[in-house]
Amino acid sequence: MKNCIYLLILAAALACSPQVEITAGKLFPVQRARVIKKHFTSEDVRSLLGEPLSVRQLDGRRSQWRYFYRQETSKPALYVFSREKEILEHEVLLIFDGNLVEEVNVTSQTVP
């Protein structure tokens, strides 16, 4: 009987904790993206963020690297599973001139 009570308490605690799910893109450390500055090398960027989700060639020397993911967090209420979700999108766009970062754009936004 005691074990059943512990299991019920554990189940209630888990039901009340937010559930986080990555629904699009590729997870990367957003906090690390904020330290990237002009003149970082492509190796510096890869060591901080990993491989980009996509790379697009802009012209002969310039390219754009894109890091992106969408995170959905459910907000359960006590003893009740809620369908309300908070959706956050994180994106980093980097423009490289050759091997060096020329432009950095980091955005994180809540999606309605």
- What one-letter code names the amino acid at 98? G
Q: pTM for this one? A: 0.70
- Per-residue pLDDT at 12 exceeds 60: no
Residues 77-110: pLDDT tens digits? Answer: 554 555 677 888 889 999 999 999 999 999 888 8
Report DSSP letters for 52-94, one per residue: -SEEEE-SSSEEEEEEEEEEEEE-PBTTB----EEEEEEEEEE
70-86 pLDDT tens trace: 878 776 655 455 567 78
Any idea where the domains of the chain sit in the sequence? 2-111
Distance CA 77, CA 40 (A): 45
Question: Token digits for 2?
Answer: 């005691």
The three-state secondary structure class of 1 is: coil
What integer is the mean pLDDT of 11-35? 68
Confidence at 58, pLDDT banded by 50, 70, 90: very high
